[in-house]
Amino acid sequence: MHALVLRVSRLPRLVRPTQSSSPLLLRLHSTNTLNRTTAAPQPIAATFVSDTEPDEYLRLIFDDHHIWQFHRRPEHPTPLNFFQSHNSSHPVPPKVTGLFNNPDLATPRGFERAANKALCRARLIVERICRAPQNGDAEMRRVVKNLDRLSDTLCSVIDMAEFIRNTHPDREILEASNRAFEELCSYMNILNTDTSMHEVLVQVLATPTLTSTFTPEEHATALTFLRDFQKSGIHLPASQRSIFVTLSDRILSLGRDFTSANPRAVSHARVPPSRLEGVGSAFLKSVVRDDGFAYVSTTPYESTMVLKYAKDAEVRKEVYKAANSATDKSIGVLEDLVRARGELAKLVGKKSYAEVFLQDKMAKGPGMCVTIAISLYVWGYVEGLNMKHGACLLAQFHFFFSQFTTENVQTFLHTLLDHHLPKSRSDLLLLQQTKQRVQQLSFLPTINAWDRDFYINIYATSARPNTRLAPISPYFSLGSVMQGLSRLFHHLYGVRLEPAQTHRGETWHEDVRKLDVICERDGSIGTIYCDLFSRPRKMSNSAHYTVRTSRRVDDDDEAGDLLHGSPPSFFSHGSPPSFFSHGEPVTVEGAGRSIPSRPGRHQSPVVVLTCDFPPTSPTSPTLLNLHEVETLFHEMGHAMHSMLGRTDFHNLAGTRCATDFVELPSILMEHFVHHPHVLALFARHHATREPLPPALLARHVAQDRLFRALDSHAQILMALVDQHYHSADVLKPDFSAVGVWSRLQDSFGTVPNVPGTAWPTQFGHLFGYGAGYYSYLFDHALARRIWKKCFERDPLDRTMGERFRAEVVGWGGSRDAWKCVAGVLGGEDAEVLMGGDERAMKRVGEWGVESY
């Protein structure tokens, strides 16, 4: 999505393809594996953590059903014998409010009111910006600030509605939030092509007496808005700008269809039970119906059970093809989506959507190209050239500039592919030898897509024929993991997580926990809502949602909006509505706090983490496998980026940074999961509180290391198909999404393509991360390097934690990402990376993405 005023608020987790969801691709991870390490396990410290520890209550609100029910009653204080909180020494008075403490959002109709509030305020700010030249230098000096306020005003509703429409269990509220989201996004697309605001911004940037007083953050914010205007075709004639808005709205609608519908053409595979030998009696009983046949669902759980355990290869093939089938409609939606993006790119003078997407990312190419292009653009305005001529100059530089963007991504991906190909072939040979042995063949057989999980399981089982791998999940109760995260953040950054109570109506489900984030230096710095448990109709993927970013608010000058932005006829009743005195459209506990480390008052960031863990029962806590622990660490990495990335401007705060940089802090967090010093903070048996035995960890690590290269190879292929789907080829008459996928599998895959399948219709990241899926691999490589150089020896080192905070997460999006990475790595790496060019991309590809 192109947006003057909108950045990505939802950060979905990397796709971990299983055999049922990806035709190439990976093994089905067992519930007790996915613990990766590159070093031999060290003993885990056996320091016992007393139940009187201050953070014990944090563990209990996630692990103890009865404590949680007590905590949910706002008329009671938090039990002080468990937890001393900055806000829990007195009872919280009963109060009824709306979602996120916004009274408007107590009913579905409130979303319309919230949207109307945002629109009214936004229109005032737009008018104020457009009138700035006639109102003197003081108003011109505020243009960048007011553009950022405009962004925050709209995003405070858009981001909240984006989350609610994907998560809320009430259908009426879900639909109301979706209407608010679409209405404001449509208005935002109109603003993206507003020539009056654009001309004022260019005039500001062309006035040295103004720009000489800009802070670095202010300058970065101004350039962000300028680039967003350019990407939205601001130089186009009015009729074409209108087409841009229409195309943008269509892409939004197609994306919703693509991610919300079930794309499979077959819902079940009908199989005689006698042909399901190997799957286990309990599973078999669960899928057999009254007619005597087994009906295997094509959704992941049941299909992967068959692909992993069923001995009959023909049954596995049938289930595989069904699980990866697609309707003509779902294929059509995918093709319409990528074509619409291709048409939008062509409209703004680009050869492909990938060029549009990549131009402000780390893969953009030499930073000097951006500087020169922007300088020439502003120069054209200063010299009095009309917008058409100025746009021609810019287009010439964009043509040169775009060559670097797409070539850099291809360089990175193919370097990575070359790096991993020998390991992938070695893993594939092991599977071929296993199949040869089981079938007693005289030759090495082909491994088909439906063979992958089956022979991986056989190989893993044969490596430990007489032993059963004990589960590791009893050592990872959800509460213990949350407690461990808080302790880790305290070691690294001096930050901890504290349970907070909620008012009635503040959350969308009774299982949602609210945490305050407390910094030993700055006090309360933000809020995290944790929606971690599965429930009917809830999306199953894990994600981080930004509801509100940090920004400075004491210098907003809201009264100036009425003074400079409202014509006499603006309000139909002659006076502004009373809600203009209420501050932000979405209010979460206050209009700004003082932060000792920054001047002024700042609104605190608010985020939501969603996962799909089994709910806590009255008798047992939720126990996580290692993959789920990694997932929680990953999402908390995003959350901490949002908390620590404090800037004066909404558009640069937290995770509002380059897409191929935003995953770095979260992927780095996954490395911490497996280090003995970190595990010593929280990995204890939920019943006995005994620490995790090192030998058990080592066995799980050894099993998980099997066939890891195939995982990496699969991710590279997914990034390649994403690039192809956003290339110029999509506008060719013979473009076929299924055809592209098939050719890539035949050229680069580890197993043959399966005709009649269309897995990409299930690849939801094609919408949210279109042309940017390479970012996960790119940030994996960066995170691996940072881990090895900075944290592997001592992951609890405060000095390194503060260095990572100062060089990376503390900047949000206000610093060039290459400089951030170079700053934390230092040395010869920094010299290469500072160029941000093809050489830098190749160097990152050479590091590889082997994890942990």
* Helix or strand (DSSP H, E) at 377: helix 367-382
Q: Does the pLDDT value for residue 34 go beyond 50?
A: no
Residue 243 lies in a domain: no
Which token pair is 49?
Answer: 């953590």
pLDDT value of residue 621: 96
> For 463-500, what is each residue's pLDDT tens digit?
766 667 889 999 999 999 999 999 999 999 999 999 99
Best-predicted range by mean pLDDT (79-88, 248-257, 437-446): 437-446
Max distance between CA atoms of the chain, in angstroms, equals 90
Of 645, 666, 691, which closes a domain? Answer: 645
Query: The whole model's pTM is what?
Result: 0.86
Q: Taking 60 as the threshold, does the pLDDT of residue 292 lie above it?
A: yes
Which of 645, 677, 710 terminates a domain? The answer is 645
Residue 580 banded pLDDT, cuts 50, 70, 90: very low
Q: Could you tell me the CATH number of the domain that includes residue 590? A: 3.40.390.10
Per residue in 797-813, pLDDT (tens digit) is 999 999 999 999 999 99
Q: Would you say residue 699 has pLDDT above 90?
A: no
Q: What is the pLDDT of residue 404?
A: 47
Q: pLDDT by residue (tens digit) across 499-535? A: 999 999 999 999 999 999 999 999 999 999 999 999 9
Specify the higher pLDDT residue, 315 or 74.
Answer: 315
Which range has the worst mean pLDDT, 63-77, 322-336, 813-827? 63-77
Highest mean pLDDT: which of 5-19, 162-176, 360-374, 575-589?
A: 162-176
Q: Which residue has the tokens 């150089």?
A: 789
Q: Which of 635, 663, 670, 850 is catalytic?
A: 635
Q: Point out the domain boundary residue: 287, 302, 323.
A: 323
Q: Which of 3-7, 140-144, 169-173 has the highest mean pLDDT?
A: 140-144
Query: Which residues, 6+ apart, have CB-to-CB distance to 490 below 8 Å?
Result: 496, 520
Q: Using the predicted structure, report yes or no on whether residue 707 has a pLDDT greater than 50.
A: yes
Position 48 scores a pLDDT of 38
**Averaged over 24-40, what is the pLDDT?**
31
In the sheet where 10-12 sits, what is the strand order?
10-12, 543-548, 606-613, 523-533, 513-519, 495-500
Query: In which band, very low, low, confident or very high, does the pLDDT at 93 lie, cut at 50, 70 and 90?
Result: low
SS3 content of the chain, % helix, strand, coil (to 5): 55, 10, 35
Q: Does position 115 have pLDDT exceeding 90, yes or no?
A: yes
Residue 380: pLDDT band with limits 50, 70, 90: low
What mean pLDDT is predicted for residues 224-237? 89
Q: What is the mean pLDDT of residues 96-109?
A: 93
Residue 94 pLDDT class (50, 70, 90 cuts): low
CA–CA separation, 757 vs 742, rounded Å?
A: 9
Is 782 a member of any domain? no
Does residue 7 sit within a domain? no
793, burial (CB in 10 Å: exposed 0-12, middle 13-18, buried 19+): exposed
From edge to edge, which strands make up the β-sheet containing 593-595? 551-552, 598-603, 593-595
What secondary structure does DSSP assign to 201-234, as a single string?
HHHHHT-HHHHTT--HHHHHHHHHHHHHHHHTTT
Judged against a pLDDT cut of 50, whether residue 589 lies above it is answered with: no
Which residue, among 514, 585, 558, 546, has the nearest Cα to 110 in the 3D structure? 585
Do 105 and 163 contact (CB within 8 A), yes or no? Answer: no
* φ, ψ at 23 (rounded to 5°): -65, -25
Q: Is residue 622 a part of any domain in this protein?
A: yes
d(Cα 335, Cα 359) in Å, to the nearest integer? 23
User: What pLDDT shows up at residue 408?
Assistant: 85
Residue 35 has pLDDT above 80, yes or no: no
| DSSP per-residue codes, 579-640 | GGGS-SSS--S-S-EEETTEEEEEEPPEEEEEEEEPPPPSS---B--HHHHHHHHHHHHHHH
Q: Stretch 704-722: mean pLDDT, rounded? A: 91
Predicted confidence band at 702 (pLDDT cuts at 50, 70, 90)?
confident
Return mean pLDDT, the chain. Answer: 86
Residue 730 reports pLDDT greater than 60: yes
143, 132 Cβ separation under 8 angstroms: yes
Angle between helices 774-786 and 387-439 (to 10 degrees): 80
Give the per-residue pLDDT at 37: 32
pLDDT of 472: 95
Q: Domain tally for the chain?
A: 2
Mean pLDDT, range 46-51, rounded to an integer = 41
Q: Tell me what pLDDT residue 383 has.
A: 54
Flag whether pLDDT at 18 surpasses 80: no
Predicted confidence at residue 570, as pLDDT, reads 52
Asked whether residue 190 carries a pLDDT value surpassing 60, the answer given is yes
Q: How would you write 437-456 as a 3-class SS string? A: HHHCCCCCCCCCCCCHHHHH
Which pLDDT belongs to residue 28?
26
Q: In this structure, is residue 287 part of a structural domain?
A: yes
Q: Does 165 reside within a domain? A: no
pLDDT score of 579 more than 80? no
Predicted local distance difference test score (pLDDT) of residue 311: 97
- pLDDT tops 80 at residue 575: no
Predicted confidence at residue 686, as pLDDT, reads: 95
Q: How sure is the predictor about 595, in pLDDT bands with cuts at 50, 70 and 90? A: confident
pLDDT of 637 higher than 60? yes
From CA 31, how far away is CA 8, in angstroms rounded? 31
> What is the residue range of 279's domain?
268-323
Q: Position of tokens 């457009």?
A: 130
pLDDT of residue 235: 84
Of 668, 680, 667, 674, which is closest to residue 803 (Cα–Cα)? 668
> Active-site residue 635, yes or no?
yes
Q: Which two tokens stand for residue 635?
A: 């999402």
Could you give the percent of the chain with pLDDT greater than 70? 83
